[in-house]
């Protein structure tokens, strides 16, 4: 938003058409916290706030990631990406595919090859 604002005068309206109103609200919540209350809180309190903030369904979380990316809000982007990574890490491959609508497009031979190469992880 800052970059867009730098290109306009005070009277212009800044167009943000890629982001739905409710998602933009979520982004602003984060930014307001970061520059306001967030500065006075301890690390633990901040983590708690972030945990609460990120209790979202997947579609909303993904929309938030897209918005953070579009609006160039790096810290929110990193926070949301880390959250998704944390959610993925806890699931098995089958659960990941089911949850995120992913098709297993390997042939049985290919899948076996990948598993063989991953034997060291087990």
Partner 1 sequence: FSFTMSHPYGIKPLGMCYIEGNDQCRRNGLGNFSKLNDETLLNIFSYFGGKTLAKMAVISKAFYVFSHFEELWKVQVIELLTSKNDSPTINFNKSWRSTFISLCSKHPPPLHNPIQIKNFYSDVLYQPFLCFNSPVKAEYLTTENIDRVSDLSRDKFITMYEIPNKPVILTDVVNRWKAAGKWDEEFLETFHGEMKVHAGGVNFTMKSYLKYAEEMKDDVPLYVFDKKFASKNQSLRDDYFVPEVFSDDLFGLLGDERPDFRWLIIGPKKSGSSFHIDPNGTSAWNAVIKGAKKWVLFPPSCVPPGIHPSTDGLDLAAPVSIMEWFMNYYQTHKQKNSSKFKGKMLECVVKEGEVLFVPRGWWHCVLNLDFTIAITQNFVSRVNLSYILNFLRDNPSNISGLPLSERPLLYEKFLGELKSFVEGKNSSDTILRNEVRRTVENHRKKSKTERKEKKEQA
Residue ranges in contact with partner 1 by CB under 8 A = 58-59, 62, 65-66, 69, 77-78, 81-82, 84-86, 88-89, 93, 96-97, 100-106, 110-111, 113-121
- CB-wise, 17 or 104, nearer to partner 1? 104
- CB-wise, 55 or 116, nearer to partner 1? 116
- CB-wise, 32 or 74, nearer to partner 1? 74
- CB 37 → partner 1: shortest distance, Å? 26
- CB-wise, 17 or 101, nearer to partner 1? 101
Q: Is 73 exposed, middle or buried (0-12, 13-18, 19+ CB in 10 A)?
A: buried
For residue 58, report the phi and psi dihedrals to the nearest 5 degrees.
Answer: -60, -45
Residue 16, classed as helix, strand or coil, is: coil
What is the distance between the alpha carbons of residues 44 and 74, in angstroms, rounded to a whole number?
21
- CB 113 → partner 1: shortest distance, Å? 6
Say how far residue 44 (Cα) sits from the centre of its chain.
Answer: 20
Kindly report each contact of residues 7-11 with a partner whose C-beta sits within 8 Å and lies 24 or more positions away, as own/partner. none
- CB 11 → partner 1: shortest distance, Å? 28
What is the distance between the alpha carbons of residues 12 and 31, in angstroms, rounded to a whole number?
22
- CB 95 → partner 1: shortest distance, Å? 10
């Amino acid at each position: 938003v800052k970059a867009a604002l730098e290109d306009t005068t005070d009277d212009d309206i800044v167009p943000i058409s890629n982001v739905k109103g409710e998602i933009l609200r979520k982004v602003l919540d984060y930014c307001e916290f970061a520059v306001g209350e967030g500065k006075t809180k301890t690390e633990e309190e901040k983590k708690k706030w972030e945990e609460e903030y990120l209790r979202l369904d997947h579609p909303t979380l993904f929309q938030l990631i897209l918005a953070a990316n579009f609006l160039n809000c790096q810290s929110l982007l990193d926070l949301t990406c880390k959250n998704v990574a944390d959610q993925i890490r806890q699931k098995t491959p089958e659960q990941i595919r089911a949850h995120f609508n992913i098709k297993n497009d390997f042939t049985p031979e290919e899948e076996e090859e990948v598993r063989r190469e991953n034997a060291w992880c087990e």
